[in-house]
Amino acid sequence: MKQSSYQTTIENQFDYICKRGMEDERKDYFKHLSRISKQEISFSDTGDHLLNQFSTIDHYDTDMQIFTLYDFNIGVENDLLSEALQNLTGKKRNIILLYYFIEMSDTEIAELLKVNRSTVYRHRISGLAFVKKFMKEHAE
């Protein structure tokens, strides 16, 4: 059976419309990719601050020296610092841990330890000087 010229014309028109629709979709897709690529940057072009937002650092209790005082567990990761703190007297160590790690003021520490604020200040300053000297002497 031979197709009529009308049917052939309809098929050709349909074929043209399908091809035209696919071509328009392809152009739209490439325009979309072009718009997206203008907003994207390569990981190699990003700064460290941005890359650090996508990374995590695992902290384990076994990597720390734990100091326990007044119901506070204070973890110190730096081995040299923890060794320096262990070589301090108990009162000076407690004052430094409370001040720098728990962020208590001299007045709050004085109330907790039942001593004068000036005593807390003197112990903190002398303890900090000892830690600094110890770390300088034992640094590699």
**Among the listed residues 64, 78, 80, the one whose alpha carbon sits nearest the alpha carbon of residue 135:** 80
The one-letter amino acid at 102? I
Predicted confidence band of residue 61 (pLDDT cuts 50, 70, 90): low
DSSP states of 105-116 as a string? -HHHHHHHHTS-
pTM higher than the cut 0.85: no
Predicted confidence band of residue 1 (pLDDT cuts 50, 70, 90): low
pLDDT, tens only, 46-55: 777 777 787 7
DSSP state of 64: S
DSSP states of 76-125 as a string? E--HHHHHHHHTS-HHHHHHHIIIIIS---HHHHHHHHTS-HHHHHHHHH
Instruction: Retrieve residue 90's tokens.
Output: 């108990």
pLDDT at 33 over 80: yes
Per-residue pLDDT, averaged over 110-131, amounts to 92
Judged by average pLDDT, the poorest of 8-17, 68-77, 88-97 is: 68-77
pLDDT, tens only, 90-117: 889 889 988 988 888 999 999 988 999 9
pLDDT at 40 over 90: no
What's the CATH code, domain 61-138?
1.10.10.10
